[in-house]
């Protein structure tokens, strides 16, 4: 693909990856790295402020890992990001991933497959709901215990079957708590099971909080320790001060 064309797509995708201004007491940090040999990647996130079902001030975020890597994944990522943004503001939270799956199922390419994780947060109370579409599990930093714990939301990857299943995990982010989202390039290795990668991330993310200046420093700190391999990688932290 032409370099100028790819640069334009990358800029368009980066415009999509913006977190809206958050109320006092909330913040978000992220870090992304494309696969080895590429300047462009297919991992992305979309986010927007919404009203929760009971009318409270809310936030919806979706982190996505599209099939493929580098420049080959970029056009699919840009198209899917645009669709997700429209779905995000137009649908209830419990219909978002199902609609995203239907969008991918209608695409002609066999590579229109993605994993995704969605979080909806009631910002005044800190209550959240996580839905996973085949994505690695979210980590929850519990400030009172001083440790990361693995969230139990699981589900079917998007673009694979007509009626995927999405588990829902609910909880509360208290003061000092955070959620860590990441794509599989952060934890998957060809010579080890993904559980070993998640255990490594739990340990390193914990050390990053203690030694690296809090939960906001975790994404950049983790990417510094992950070599640029054959998959794109992204990390995203949503935290409550």
CATH assignment of 3-240, given 3.20.20.80, 3.60.40.10, 3.90.226.10, 1.25.40.10?
3.60.40.10
| DSSP-based three-state secondary structure for 237 | strand
Residue 205 near residue 180, CB atoms below 8 Å: yes
Per-residue pLDDT of the chain (241 residues), as tens digits, is: 566 666 677 667 777 788 999 999 999 999 887 765 555 567 889 999 998 877 789 999 999 998 866 566 778 888 899 899 989 988 999 999 999 999 999 988 766 899 999 999 999 999 999 999 999 999 999 999 999 999 999 999 999 999 999 999 999 999 999 999 999 989 988 778 899 999 999 999 999 998 877 999 999 999 888 876 667 788 999 999 9
The β-bridge relationship of strands 147-150 and 168-172 is unpaired
Q: Given CA atoms 234, 133, 67, 73 in this order, what sign does their dihedral have?
A: negative
Q: Is 71 helix (H, G, I), strand (E, B) or coil?
A: helix
Strands (E), 34-167: 43-51, 57-66, 114-122, 127-133, 139-142, 147-150
Please state the pTM of the whole predicted model. 0.91
Nearest residue to 30 (alpha-carbon basis) of 241, 240, 233: 233
């Amino acid at each position: 693909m032409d370099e100028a064309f790819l640069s334009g797509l990358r800029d368009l995708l980066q415009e999509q990856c913006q977190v809206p201004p958050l109320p006092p007491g909330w913040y978000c940090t992220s870090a992304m790295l494309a696969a080895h040999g590429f300047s462009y990647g297919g991992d992305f996130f979309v986010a927007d402020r919404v009203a929760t079902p009971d009318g409270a001030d809310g936030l919806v975020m979706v982190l996505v890992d599209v099939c493929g890597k580098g420049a080959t994944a970029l056009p699919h990522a840009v198209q899917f990001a645009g669709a997700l943004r429209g779905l995000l503001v137009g649908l209830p939270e419990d219909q978002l991933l199902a609609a995203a799956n239907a969008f991918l199922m209608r695409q002609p390419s066999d590579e229109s497959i993605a994993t995704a994780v969605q979080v909806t947060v009631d910002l005044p109370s800190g209550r959240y709901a996580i839905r996973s579409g085949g994505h690695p599990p979210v980590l929850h930093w519990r400030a009172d215990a001083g440790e990361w714990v693995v969230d139990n939301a699981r589900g079917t990857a998007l673009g694979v079957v007509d009626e995927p299943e999405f588990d829902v995990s609910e909880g509360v982010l208290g003061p000092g708590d955070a959620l860590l989202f990441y794509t599989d390039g952060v934890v998957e290795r060809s010579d080890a099971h993904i559980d070993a990668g998640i255990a490594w991330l739990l340990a390193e993310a914990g050390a990053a909080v203690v030694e690296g200046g809090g939960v906001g420093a975790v994404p950049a700190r983790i990417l510094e320790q992950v070599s640029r391999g054959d998959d794109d990688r992204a990390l995203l932290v949503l935290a409550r001060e």
